[in-house]
Structure 1
Amino acid sequence: MPANRNALIRYRILDQCLRNKFRRFELEDLMDACADGLYEYAGIRGGVSKRTIQLDLQMLRSDQLGYNAPIEVYDKKYYRYSDPEYSITNTPLNDTDIDKLHEVVDILRQFSGFSHFHDLSGMVQRLEDKILTHKSENAPIINLEKNIRLKGLEHLDTLYHAIQGKRQLHITYQSFKARKPDSFIFHAFLLKEFRNRWFVLGRKDKKSDNLLLALDRIESLKVSQERRLEFPDLNTANYFDDVVGVTVGKNTPTETIEFKVERKNAPYIETKPIHHSQVVLHKDDEFTYFQIQVQWNYELESVFMSHGPGLIITAPRSRFRKMRRLYRLGYQNYEGE
């Protein structure tokens, strides 16, 4: 791509001049046209140097940007395309362009819950049409984690715009533990995704604690015209910094958790840290020793358990005993079978 927006504007203006069959453009004319265009489209006053235009023409002629424009000089002073049908806007896409467009389309599809991307649907369809004309038998090279059956995604866009517009919400919600739904006013501040499941953070009123709602448990949702309440003490930018997952304890302190990982599995933990605070303490022939600063919660337990017997909590001892109890319960469940 051009180095900057001004260069792109000049390329477009030069293209229009070189395609013009009813006027002859000398170098000075191209300079004036680009100066006028920069003022019109970017508000930039001042002239464009002869050297700049010469470099632009050289760039358009080259294959550096894929244009290979057939620019010729007639009578040693007039510039135009030798092919009257040529335009840089008609430059065909190469295989690399097609591959990149395919990746972009795949990525855009992952955000179908937001209206921003509904608005782009026409563009995405045009990209797909362009790709189909260059269709190959190659398998996809990007596979993002997604769950098309996940409930609650239909609420994403409504929640996003309510947060953006600072509006109250009327929500009917039923948690996994509740016997029946509950309806209440909710003041939302942040959308949070964890392991392909979405949550919204907010409060019911000025006296309530922070509340994290799972979108798949929302039964109905309506945006009010009333302004939401503001809570200066709610720092959404750092709210989840001290946890793995989404469960944040109101008065739960962070702990220094130390654990060791078998040598063969340690690279997985090193390259994909359990928490951003993770550091390596030391290594020996059998284990790599790590430390993190976090609140202990269910999600952290689940992450530790997912690594099986290859990860062992070493400190504090209370957390070592907690994990030992979990493994014993699991063993008893399987032993009964």
Structure 2
Amino acid sequence: MRRTSRRFTIHDLIEACIEATAQFHPDDKSISKRTVQRDIKFMREELGAPIIVEDRKYYLYSDPSFSLESTPVTEDDGILLHEIRQMLQTYHEFQQTRELDAFIARIEQSIHGTLSPNQKIVELDHFDRVPGRQYVATLYGAISKQQPLLVTYRPFHDGQASEAPFSISPYLLKTYNSRWYALSYNHAIGQLVQIGLERIIDLQPSDEDFHPPTGIQLDRYFADRIGVSADFGAMPESVQIWVKPKQVAYVRSRPWHESQQEISQDESGMVIQLHLIINYELCAKILSFGPGVKVLSPPSLVQKIQDTVTEMMNRYTEEIQA
């Protein structure tokens, strides 16, 4: 828009944007008019770009000397970049985040008064030593390219034993409780499985054909549970839980699940209802609250929690008697 010898229509700007992004997204030529209009609005309001419209059709700068390249980066911008960089370092398994981190570092160096590179503002729960992180980039690439993989796997319940290699079609990477999982189609058994990356022994390309996800809404697959685990074919159930008064505010501020609803509340406490798959993570959540909560229904979950608490009590009783 600085070229005053030419006036740009919105369609000219769309073409220019497609051309400018072609090196990054060569197959994407679907930049919309609305996207460009939002960008123009952002440039005006956030970057102070003096963009005007002539004859209700042509876009240009009212000040021909204006350039985004000469727009100064403020100290506040530097602090924000510093925080973003810290968050990106949490996911350094991805080549993209490592490259972006290096790019932001170069910008930081050009800003006077930015924080020390070692000074933290945000502390995230993260564990660098979790086994399996080295497979994240491989799985990410395989999902993007629809490349089946040959997995050698060691389930927890088998100790040090490993299964014979089997092929998977990976669909989705997920983190839960500082661990990585890959939702995948297991070619050997013909069903979906959650592969815990810390249990992978080896990962290689497979010669089998990719099995595309059919009838699966990947972005909602884990929405019906807490965490990742579920028995094959398990369906969501209604669960009612009593919460003691001292825990009410906490449970309200941090819902257990997106389906959480308040059924009743009085001086004796609150009753919430969840609609989800009953799995290991739900039981662990209930037990983590100790006497602060009590399962009211369904009876099968009541019994499961009772059995677990009884077994725990017996363990401690045995130790005291010994």
- Which TM-score band applies after superposition, normalised by the shorter structure? 0.7 to 0.9
The offset of 1:283, in angstroms, is 0.5
In structure 1, stretches of 5+ residues that fail to align are 1-9, 18-29, 45-55, 69-77
The offset of 1:233, in angstroms, is 4.1
Q: 1:130 to 1:225 in 2, by over 3 A?
A: farther
Please name the residue that 1:298 is paired with.
Answer: 280
Q: Kindly provide the amino acid, as one letter, of the partner of residue 187 in structure 1.
A: S
- The count of aligned residue pairs is 281
Please name the residue that 1:245 is paired with.
Answer: 227
Q: TM-score w.r.t. structure 1 length? A: 0.72
Q: 1:170 to 1:95 in 2, by over 3 A?
A: same
The offset of 1:160, in angstroms, is 1.1
Q: 1:102 to 1:231 in 2, by over 3 A?
A: closer
Q: 1:157 to 1:120 in 2, by over 3 A?
A: same
Give SS of 1:247's match. Answer: coil
Percent of residue pairs bearing the same amino acid type: 25
Q: TM-score w.r.t. structure 2 length? A: 0.75
Q: Kindly provide the amino acid, as one letter, of the partner of residue 140 in structure 1.
A: K
The offset of 1:64, in angstroms, is 7.0
Contact 2:150 2:166 in 1 (8 A): yes
Please name the residue that 1:89 is paired with.
Answer: 69
Please name the residue that 1:164 is paired with.
Answer: 144
Relative to structure 2, which stretch is displaced further, 270-279 or 236-245?
A: 236-245
Larger Rg, first or second structure (1 or 2): 1
CA distance in 1, matches of 2:46, 2:151: 55
Give SS of 2:78's match. Answer: helix
Q: 1:91 to 1:291 in 2, by over 3 A?
A: same
The offset of 1:155, in angstroms, is 0.7
Q: 1:286 to 1:107 in 2, by over 3 A?
A: same
Please name the residue that 2:135 is paired with.
Answer: 155
CA distance in 2, matches of 1:197, 1:136: 30
Q: RMSD of the alignment, in Å?
A: 3.2
In structure 2, stretches of 5+ residues that fail to align are 17-39, 51-61
Give 1:222-301 correspondences, 5 Å limit.
Answer: 222-224=204-206, 226-301=208-283
Give SS of 1:243's match. Answer: coil
1:218 to 200, 204, 219: 200
Q: Kindly provide the amino acid, as one letter, of the partner of residue 85 in structure 2.
A: V
2:83 to 103, 111, 127: 103
Q: 1:42 to 1:101 in 2, by over 3 A?
A: same
Q: Kindly provide the amino acid, as one letter, of the partner of residue 275 in structure 1.
A: H
Q: 1:67 to 1:133 in 2, by over 3 A?
A: farther
Q: 1:43 to 1:212 in 2, by over 3 A?
A: closer
Contact 2:171 2:213 in 1 (8 A): no
Give 1:1-337 correspondences, 5 Å limit.
Answer: 10=1, 13=2, 30=4, 32-33=5-6, 35=7, 42-43=14-15, 65=47, 89-130=69-110, 134-135=114-115, 140-178=120-158, 179-182=160-163, 183-205=165-187, 207-224=189-206, 226-335=208-317, 336-337=319-320
CA distance in 2, matches of 1:40, 1:332: 76
